[in-house]
């Protein structure tokens, strides 16, 4: 275990003896319309409602975007549970507190069980704040080494297979290195078959968002003929055991998303051979610290990882890019250009993808992107500003 607790000293030369002191926490609920609706096996959404955390300290500010959604479908957390947990339980554990390093924020939340998305939003803001105070890019503080990351796209369920083919065509033309399509019963073998028939040997995978059970094993094995890079989260959101039984019956590698809510569960999944690949979303595991531990655990076991996406605005997206600069993010992630999601985004300039399907890791301090305050204000539905309570 101890070998995975080595986050601190990767770049110790750039840490000096600075500390993060958090003087104010601003919490907002935002609404941004999506450029295109997004449909998964849970349903279709047309706009994104999400919380944004801003932490202030020593004249600097850091941002963390909460990846919870309006409904408890991908995860049990929602914007309202996160609002409750952040204001009542997490804010009091950071306000007025001096942290030697942002790696110390997640442990300060130990008394609070679960609520990883709420924790991650606050914790990631602290990493941004710290990196800005140091005047270095977040990637350096996280221990990242890549200067650009490989980008893929996640394409939702469409109204028709023709529409799906049209979307895949457009994303390949934009340069994306890997195509992921969402599947569910009735939109699976037919969809994969159609995309393979049209586009040949592209890097292709499918994400089921837990739409199947072990009883569907024979049906899922029909996907083996299409040489998918992986099938993501075919079975229940909290399952490991059935995934291990399914993996025995599939040639296609299983990648776990929803199931991996902690480093401990990842150890269990790797040990039981429930997956060969893991998707990392910091919101799912409690922030950057836990993501680095998960990354390191997978690296030690030869499990490649890639960065998942939760339809983030440019602020959350920038965090994802910095985290993706760590070495074991060896597969293209679901971290794509801003304009696929929001137009305009909260940041300017937006995040763009190169014709080669790569995204440059920002080099400025912290997350290294510039937000437009008027756009944040215009999207704000609710706002709370919290400060240390006087004693
Ligand atoms: O399962 O990866 C998922 C979006 C919302 C919730 C869950 C998932 C997704 C995506 C979108 O696949 C990835 C993205 O483009 O941000
Ligand atoms: Mg997924």
Q: What pLDDT score was predicted for residue 43? A: 86
Q: What pLDDT score was predicted for residue 315? A: 98
Q: What pLDDT score was predicted for residue 13? A: 40
- C-alpha separations of 91 from 26, 50, 119, 296, 373 in Å: 10, 18, 10, 29, 23
Question: What are the average pLDDT values for consecutive 10-residue runs of the chain, which has 391 residues?
Answer: 36 52 96 94 92 95 98 97 98 95 97 98 98 97 98 96 98 98 97 98 97 98 98 98 98 98 98 98 98 98 98 98 98 98 97 98 98 98 92 53
**What is the 308 CA–ligand 2 centroid distance (Å)?**
7
Q: Pocket around ligand 1: residues whose beta carbon is below 6 Å from it?
A: 74, 154, 207, 209, 257, 308-311, 334, 336
- Protein residue with least CA distance to atom 7, ligand 1: 310
Pocket test for ligand 1, best of 311, 315, 335, 341 (most atoms within 8 A of CB): 311
Closest CA to 54 of 240, 316, 253, 323: 316
pTM for this one? Answer: 0.94
Helices (H), 188-239: 189-199, 217-221
All residues at 6 or more sequence positions from 330 whose CB lies less than 8 Å from its CB, including other chains: 304, 305, 306
Q: Is 12 exposed, middle or buried (0-12, 13-18, 19+ CB in 10 A)?
A: exposed
Q: What pLDDT score was predicted for residue 205? A: 98
Q: What pLDDT score was predicted for residue 58? A: 87
Query: Is 119 an annotated catalytic residue?
Result: no
Query: Is 273 an annotated catalytic residue?
Result: no
**Nearest ligand to residue 337 Cα:** 1
What digits encode the pLDDT tens for the residues 140-178?
999 999 999 999 999 999 999 999 999 999 999 999 999
């Amino acid at each position: 275990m101890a070998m995975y607790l080595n986050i601190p000293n990767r770049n110790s030369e750039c840490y000096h003896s600075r500390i993060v002191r958090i003087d104010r926490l601003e919490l907002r609920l935002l609404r941004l319309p999506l450029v295109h609706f997004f449909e998964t096996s849970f349903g279709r959404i047309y706009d994104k409602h999400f919380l944004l955390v801003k932490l202030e300290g020593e004249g600097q500010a850091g941002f963390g975007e909460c990846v919870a959604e309006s409904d408890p479908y991908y995860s049990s957390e929602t914007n309202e549970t996160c609002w409750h947990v952040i204001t009542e339980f997490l804010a009091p554990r950071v306000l007025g507190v001096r942290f030697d390093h942002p790696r110390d924020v997640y442990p300060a939340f130990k008394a609070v069980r679960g609520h990883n998305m709420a924790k991650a939003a606050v914790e990631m803001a602290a990493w941004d704040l710290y990196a800005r105070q140091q005047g270095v890019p977040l990637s350096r503080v996280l221990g990242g080494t890549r200067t650009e990351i490989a980008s893929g796209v996640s394409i939702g369920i469409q109204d028709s297979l023709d529409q799906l083919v049209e979307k895949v065509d457009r994303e390949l033309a934009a340069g994306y290195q890997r195509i992921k399509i969402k599947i569910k019963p009735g939109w699976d073998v037919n969809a994969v078959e159609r995309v393979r028939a049209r586009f040949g040997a592209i890097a292709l995978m499918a994400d089921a968002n837990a739409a199947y059970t072990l009883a569907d094993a024979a049906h899922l094995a029909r996907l083996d003929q299409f040489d998918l890079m992986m099938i993501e989260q075919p079975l229940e959101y909290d399952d490991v055991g059935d995934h291990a039984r399914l993996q025995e019956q599939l040639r296609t590698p299983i990648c776990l998303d929803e199931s991996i809510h902690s480093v401990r569960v990842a150890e269990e999944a790797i040990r039981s051979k429930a997956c060969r690949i893991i998707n990392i979303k910091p919101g799912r595991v409690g922030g950057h610290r836990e993501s680095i531990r998960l990354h390191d655990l997978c690296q030690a076991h030869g499990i490649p990882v890639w960065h998942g996406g939760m339809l983030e605005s440019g602020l959350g997206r920038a965090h994802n890019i910095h985290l993706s600069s760590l070495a074991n993010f060896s597969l293209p992630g679901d971290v794509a250009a801003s304009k696929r999601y929001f137009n305009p985004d909260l940041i300017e300039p937006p995040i763009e993808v190169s014709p080669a399907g790569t995204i440059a890791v920002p080099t400025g301090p912290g997350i290294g992107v510039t937000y437009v305050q008027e756009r944040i204000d215009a999207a704000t539905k609710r706002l709370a500003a919290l400060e240390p309570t006087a004693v």
